[in-house]
Structure 1
Amino acid sequence: MWRLKNKILPVICLVLFVLITQNTFAQSKKDLENKKKKLLKEIRLTNKLLKETRKNKELSVDELLKLKSKINSRSNLIAAMNSEMRLVNKEISNSKHNISNLETELAHLKKEYAKIIYYAFKHRSSYDKMMFIFASKDINQAYKRLKYIQQYSEYRKSQANEIVKTQATLEAKINDLTQTNEEKTILVSMEEQEKQNLAIEKAEQENIVQKLQGKEQELKKQLKKKEAAKRKMQKAIQRIIEEEIRKAREAAKKSGKTSKGFPMTPEALKLSNSFASNKGKLPWPVKQGVITAQFGKHPHPVLAGIVINNNGIDISTTKGSTSRAIFNGVVSSVAIIPGEGKVVMVRHGEYLSVYSYMSEVFVSKGDKIDIKQDLGVLINEAGKSKTQVHLEIWKGMTKLNPKYWIFRK
């Protein structure tokens, strides 16, 4: 009996391991599936934006940026598929190993159980059992022998049930393996298709770059205007921040307080801390969109040797879209800056969010703003089929990367 127990314990442990491993794989695969769905949704949106852009027959840097965004999403999709493939291969390998172990242990279990059945068959008569009990030296021994016979019978039944359960687990695992192999076949086909799409898009990107390089002087002229508009907006933001800091310090001084940096009321401090605690969870400034220009310094996508510096991020969206607030706050300023359209600045305690490229605004200076509240209609540049919002986030006089503050899709 003890030999049989020693055989059963490894089987139980193995079954538990299989179930735990299966749950871990299922969770990881689910995460990858969700990531793939989000990337495919992003690619579909970018295709829609490109279709709008290509209504204008003239090639533009905006079209190139959207295509680069789609290529980036496609590359991430293929990377996710590769991760899923490695996970599936590992799952197949583990399943084969577990099945082999289960088959071996089950064979041993059946062999030992056969010995029990054979022993029970040889001593199946009630007379033999009674003689075994009556041959006891005393009442205590007779009682122990009676309990042994009862427990042995129950144990034999429980082990038969355990064999049936183990056999069912084995069959289920074999079915899972078959299904996983089918999933792998589909995944290989999908990955190959995405690689072909990526190759086509990269060739298209190279073709657009070559054609745009023939318009170097025009692109430099556009860049010069854009840089001039950017400098005007940065100066306007700095003036507003400096003025707000000056007023806050004067108010603090009148109340008998001295403070460096940006003095805040308890309400403003609470708002500032709440904004900071939501880093990475803030809503996007548009309902749907793709990031087409990143924060910081980057080489120009066409002009060799030229580095552009972006104080925020640019998010392309669909025609007629509105810009919305990423958090509760108070409107610090509404300005018109040539090249940037109408600009709305919203104060969130020590933080400031800036929204550009609007043709119409719905708010005024001093208005209290709720999270996701519409701020204005985004410009749709005539002849360019281009609609985007430019988002900046400042803390004091320091520019922050909005990508790390808004929700990561």
Structure 2
Amino acid sequence: MPFYTPHAFRLVLLLIMLLSASVGVRAQKSREQLEREKTENQSKMKEIQGILKETSAQKSVNLGQLRAINQQINTQKKQIDLLSDDVGLLNKELNVLVKEQQALAKNFEKLKEEYGHMIYEAAKRNSYLNQLVFLFSAESFHQFALRYKYLKQYTDARQEQAQEMEELKQKLISEQARIASKKTEKQKVLTTQVGESKKLEGLKAKQNEVVVALSQKEAELRKQIEQNKRATNLLEANIRRIAERERKERLEKERKEREAREARIRAEKERLAKENAERAKKGEVAIAPEPKEKEPEIVSGGLSEAETTLASSFTASRARLPWPVKGFVSGHFGRREHPVLKGVMVDNLGVDIQTNNGELVRSVYDGTVLDVTEMPGMGDVIAIQHGDYMTIYAKMNGVVVKPGQKVKARDPIGRVATDSDGTSELQFQIWKNTSRLNPEGWLAPR
């Protein structure tokens, strides 16, 4: 039978602890990521619940209420998926703990067996009398010293092995407690998951009720679609007017600056030629043209160097722009089917962000306010220039900026307006010259 020294058992125990720690670190990283996602999603759920509460306060159902319910269903589904991930992670952690426990139990049994063997052998051969005989039968003092040292090491080894057994036993008890705790945690997650699934079913039932109620208001919805279409067309025409105005102003500025530069160059040449002619009459040496400081560069398209740099940095901020207002995307970019009326398509120049009543709206980037206009169906509309880019903020009130004003990213520019249905929704657009872009590809992920 092999003999496990205390040192060997210490190494075994250390290896098990290191394995447990390394697995724990890997699991902890996944656990931290999962908990962060759960917390973020719960925050979104709470935010949407607040928005839904405001829209539900109205006596009649409305599209804002339906959009909030749809978004809440999406976040509810995600929460259930995250809880499923949680259960999967707990199962992995449980498997690791069970394997550790099994390894500890196996080594504990080996240690007990070896210790029992040592005790048995000691009882047979190492009585006090036998030890004395063993010592004093030495043929020299040197041999006596070696035998004494051997007996002491053997006694110390038994004591150390007993201590190793106790440590291993405590480790085994600790692992059993961790397994029990992990099982309890898993059961709690499963119970929570069941509760969240019931909430999801309730939301789907509510969604169906709202859709049915809205379907019975088809004439009103179609009228609303036409009103929105007229307001959208008017807004688009205004944006294109602003973009064209800015383009012409930049080109005119470029033309004037180029003419002014050419005039300065001609004047300098004429002055130098006249002076050198006078010097030639006097027999003096002609003067060479002096090097001039570099004048500000005129960039093609009428943009100055500063404006070009701003546009370049705006481009580099794609997918990282801050949201102009808290909330969720209730209307996506482009042409899409109406959420209630089948076969009816609606077009969106940007995105609609549904939020709370009176929520503060902020600029998404550094720029200059080009225009502030009040428009039918769109409330106050703000256009901010970022080089050859423009961001548009519509369906606002309480504007706190004016044309020509410089703004920084996240500066407040006004508040979102609330319509007669109790829906607070910002219309946000991004344009490059006269081309509209999808804002969802520019805003930071949420």
> Residue 9 of structure 2 contacts residue 164 of structure 2 at CA under 8 Å; is this kept in 1?
no
- Specify the SS of the correspondent of 1:388: strand
Residues 240-290 of structure 1 deviation map (CA, whole Å, 9 limit, x = unaligned): 334434444555564686766x6644433443444444444433222x323
Deviations 1:120-145 (A, max 9, x none): 78569598589599359xxxxx99x9
Match for residue 402 of structure 1? 439
Letter in structure 2 aligned against 1:389: L
Other-structure match for 1:90: 92
Q: Which residue of 1 aligns with 2:419?
A: 381
Q: Is the 8 A contact 1:280 1:407 kept in 2?
A: yes
CA contact (8 A) 2:416 2:426 kept: yes
Please, which moves more after superposition, 174-183 or 4-13? 4-13
Tell me, in whole angstroms, the C-alpha distance in 2 between the residues paired with 1:249 and 1:157. Answer: 93
CA pair 15-302 structure 1, distance change in 2 beyond 3 A: same
SS at match of 1:298: strand
Deviation string, structure 1 residues 145-196 (Cα, Å, up to 9, x no partner): 9999998888777766655544444333222221111111111111111111
> Could you tell me which residue of structure 1 aligns to residue 368 of structure 2?
330
Question: One-letter code of the match for 1:307?
Answer: M
**Other-structure match for 2:188:** 186
Task: List aligned pairs for 1:351-366, cutoff 5 A.
Answer: 351-366=389-404
Deviation (angstroms), 1:38: 2.6
Asked whether the equivalents of residues 3 and 114 of structure 2 are also in contact (C-alpha less than 8 Å), the reply is no
Checking the alignment, whether the CA contact within 8 Å between 1:249 and 1:258 is kept in structure 2 is no
Superposition TM-score, scaled by structure 1 size: 0.83
Q: Is the partner of 2:323 in helix, strand or coil?
A: coil
Q: 1:271 aligns with which of 310, 315, 320?
A: 310
Deviation at 1:223, TM superposition (A): 0.9
- Distance in 2 between residues matched to 1:276 and 1:173, nearest whole Å: 54
Q: Secondary structure of the equivalent of 2:57?
A: coil
Taking the TM superposition and a 5 Å limit, the aligned residue runs for 1:119-268 are: 125=131, 134-135=142-143, 163-248=165-250, 251=253, 254=257, 264-268=303-307
Question: Any idea what the Cα deviations from partners look like across 1:207-266, whole Å, max 9, x if unmatched?
Answer: 211221122222112112212222222233333334434444555564686766x66444
Q: Is the 8 A contact 1:7 1:108 kept in 2?
A: no
Task: Return closer, same or farther for 1:337/1:133 CA change in 2, 3 Å cut-off.
Answer: farther
Counterpart of 1:40 in structure 2 is 42
Q: Give the secondary-structure state (helix, strand or coil) at the position aligned to 1:319.
A: coil
Q: Distance in 1 between matches of 2:13 and 2:436?
A: 60
Answer with 1 or 2: which has the greater Rg: 2
Q: Distance in 1 between matches of 2:347 and 2:379?
A: 19
Separation (CA, whole Å) in 1 of partners of 2:34 and 2:311: 35
1:116 and 1:401 map into 2 onto residues whose CA distance is: 78
- CA shift, 1:374, in A, is 1.4
Match of 2:322 among 251, 271, 283: 283
SS in 2 for 1:206: helix
Q: How much has 1:367 moved relative to structure 2?
A: 0.9
Give the Cα separation in 1 of the matches to 2:335 and 2:396. Answer: 24
- Call closer, same or farther: CA 1:8–1:264 in 2, change over 3 Å: farther
> What SS class does the counterpart of residue 398 from structure 2 fall into?
strand
Distance in 2 (CA, whole Å) between partners of 1:146 and 1:400 is 90
Name structure 2 gaps, 5 residues minimum.
262-296
Q: Is the 8 A contact 2:298 2:304 kept in 1?
A: no
- CA distance, structure 1, for counterparts of residue 117 and residue 65 of structure 2: 77
Change (3 A) 1:71 1:171: same
- Report how many aligned residue pairs link the two structures: 400
2:359 pairs, out of 298, 302, 321, with 321
- SS of the residue aligned with 1:363? coil
Is contact 1:133–1:146 with CA below 8 Å preserved after alignment? no
Equivalent residues of 1:391, 1:402 under 8 A apart: yes
Q: Is the 8 A contact 1:54 1:63 kept in 2?
A: yes
Give the aligned partner of residue 275 of structure 2: none
AA at the equivalent of 2:142: F
Could you tell me how far apart the structure 2 residues matched to 1:198 and 1:273 are?
45
Letter of the 2:334 partner, please give it.
G
Q: Offset at 1:375?
A: 0.7
Code of the aligned partner of 2:228: K
* 2:25 alignment partner, one of 13, 23, 26: 23
Residue matched to 2:339: 301
RMSD: 3.5
Distance 1:215 1:332 in 2: 40
- 1:313-332 Cα shifts (integer Å, max 9, x gaps): 22222222221112222212
In the superposition, the TM-score normalised over structure 2's length comes to: 0.77
Mark the CA change 1:15 to 1:228 in structure 2 (over 3 Å): closer, same or farther.
same
Deviates more, 1:224-233 or 1:181-190: 224-233
User: 2:308, 2:148 → 1: CA distance?
Assistant: 79
Q: Relative to 1, partners in 2 of residues 1:59 and 1:10: Cα closer, same or farther, differing over 3 Å?
A: same
Query: Offset at 1:305?
Result: 1.0
Give the aligned partner of residue 139 of structure 1.
none
